[in-house]
C-alpha cells in the first residue's frame, strides 16, 4: 500500500499528485507534470496575446547552448506541434571566438540540432569582423568586453538571419534579464532606453529583421526547473568574461530584492512598460541632430545606413565600426612601440550615449 500523503502536500492544481516544488513566481505548490504544463501554457498565451508569429513564418532561434536558448528551442518545438503554429524553426548560433567557452557550448547546440531535428547555422565574429572576442579582450581589456560583445552580437544575429533569408529572430531573454536591464539603465542614468528595453518585440526602423522574446514573463529559476524536469541537454558554464561586467551589479541587486519580494521581477518590468518619457520636438526640416556629446543623429525616415559597412545605424558610422576602429588603433599602437593605449576603452564610454 502506498504511504498516505497529507492534503497540504498535494499539487494545488491536480490535487492528486505530490507537489515537488513551489513556483518562484507565485509560490504555488505544483507537481512536475502540472508545472511543465503551466509553464508551456503561459508561453503559449504570451505568444497568442502578443501575436508574435504568423502561420508559415520562418523563425530563427538564437541558440547559444545555454539553459535559456535550449529551453526556448524545446518549448517552441513542443508548442509548434501542439498548437499547429505552422512555423519553420531554425537554430542560429553566433561563435564569438571564446576558447574554452563558446567552442564547448556550440557542441551542445549541435547536439540540440539532432535532438530537436532543426537546421543549424553558425556565424562567427571572425568571419564578419576579422576579430574574435579573445583578441578583442586582449586588445581592449576585460572590463569593456560585454559592451563589445553586445554590439557585435546584435549585428551578427541580423546578418545571420538575412543569410538564411529569415526576417524574425527569437531569443531566450527572460524576465530576470529584462528586469536587470531596467535596473541597469536606471543605475547608468540612461532612462531613454528603459521604455524600449521592456518591449517584447523590437524592430529597428529600416531593418528587415524583427526580434522577439517569448520568455519575457518567464522567471530564470522556472526555466532552470523546466530544463531539469524535462532532462534537457544544455551548457551551464558562465561566460569567461561575464564576472567583470557591470550588469552583475544589477543582477545582485535584483536577486536580493527577489528574496524579499518574489514578484519584484515582474513589478520592475511593468514599471518599465508604464514609463513614458517626454520626447523633445524636432524641426521637421532639419537633416540631423547634434547631441550634447558631439555625436550626430541622422533622420529616421526610411532607416539610415552606416557609411562604412552599410548596417542599420542612427549615426553616420555604426557602433560596431566605431568599436572596431578603436581596436585597430590599439593594435597598431602595440605593434609600433609595444605599449597599449586605452583608446578603445574611451570609445566604449562614448558608445553608451549613442542611440542604437
Binding site feature residues: 62-64, 68, 94, 172, 177
Among all chains, which residue has been given the C-alpha cell 553586445? 150
CA distances from 346 to 73, 97, 140, 144, 350 (A): 38, 23, 10, 10, 7
Among all chains, which residue has been given the C-alpha cell 568571419? 127
Residues 6+ positions from 96 with CB-CB distance below 8 Å: 102, 124, 125, 132, 133, 149, 152, 153
Element (H, E) at 128: helix 125-129
Binding site for ATP: which residues? Answer: 62-64, 68, 94, 172, 177
Other Cβ atoms within 10 Å of 271 Cβ, number: 15
Distance separating the N- and C-terminal Cα atoms of the chain: 65
CA distances from 85 to 47, 79, 81, 90, 166 (A): 10, 8, 7, 14, 17
Amino acid at each position: 500500500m502506498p504511504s498516505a500523503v497529507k492534503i497540504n502536500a498535494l499539487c494545488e492544481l491536480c490535487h492528486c499528485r505530490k507537489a515537488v516544488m513551489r513556483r518562484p513566481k507565485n509560490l504555488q505548490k505544483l507537481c512536475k507534470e502540472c508545472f511543465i504544463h503551466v509553464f508551456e501554457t503561459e508561453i503559449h498565451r504570451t505568444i497568442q496575446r502578443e501575436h508574435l508569429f504568423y502561420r508559415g513564418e520562418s523563425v530563427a532561434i538564437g541558440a547559444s547552448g545555454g539553459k535559456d536558448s535550449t529551453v526556448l528551442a524545446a518549448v517552441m518545438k513542443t508548442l509548434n506541434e501542439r498548437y499547429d503554429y505552422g512555423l519553420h524553426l531554425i537554430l542560429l548560433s553566433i561563435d564569438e571566438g571564446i576558447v574554452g567557452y563558446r567552442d564547448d557550448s556550440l557542441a551542445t547546440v549541435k547536439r540540440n540540432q539532432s535532438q530537436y531535428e532543426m537546421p543549424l547555422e553558425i556565424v562567427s565574429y571572425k568571419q564578419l569582423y576579422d576579430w574574435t572576442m579573445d583578441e578583442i579582450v586582449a586588445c581592449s581589456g576585460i572590463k569593456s568586453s560585454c559592451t563589445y560583445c553586445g554590439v557585435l552580437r546584435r549585428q551578427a544575429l541580423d546578418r545571420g538571419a538575412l543569410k538564411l533569408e529569415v526576417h524574425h529572430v527569437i531569443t531566450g531573454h527572460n524576465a530576470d534579464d529584462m528586469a536587470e536591464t531596467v535596473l541597469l539603465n536606471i543605475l547608468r542614468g540612461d532612462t531613454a532606453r528603459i521604455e524600449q528595453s521592456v518591449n517584447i518585440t523590437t524592430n529597428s526602423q529600416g531593418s528587415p529583421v524583427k526580434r522577439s522574446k517569448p520568455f519575457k514573463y518567464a522567471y530564470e529559476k522556472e526555466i532552470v526547473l523546466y530544463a531539469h524536469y524535462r532532462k534537457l541537454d544544455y551548457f551551464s558554464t558562465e561566460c569567461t568574461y561575464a564576472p567583470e561586467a557591470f550588469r552583475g551589479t544589477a543582477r545582485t541587486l535584483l536577486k536580493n530584492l527577489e528574496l524579499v519580494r518574489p514578484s519584484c521581477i515582474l513589478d520592475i518590468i511593468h514599471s518599465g512598460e508604464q514609463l513614458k518619457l517626454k520626447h523633445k520636438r524636432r524641426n521637421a526640416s532639419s537633416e540631423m541632430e547634434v547631441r550634447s556629446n558631439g555625436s550626430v543623429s541622422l533622420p529616421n525616415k526610411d532607416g539610415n545606413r552606416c557609411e562604412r559597412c552599410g548596417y542599420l545605424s542612427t549615426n553616420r558610422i555604426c557602433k560596431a565600426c566605431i568599436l572596431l576602429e578603436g581596436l585597430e588603433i590599439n593594435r597598431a599602437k602595440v605593434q609600433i612601440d609595444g605599449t597599449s593605449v586605452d583608446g578603445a576603452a574611451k570609445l566604449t564610454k562614448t558608445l553608451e550615449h549613442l542611440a542604437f
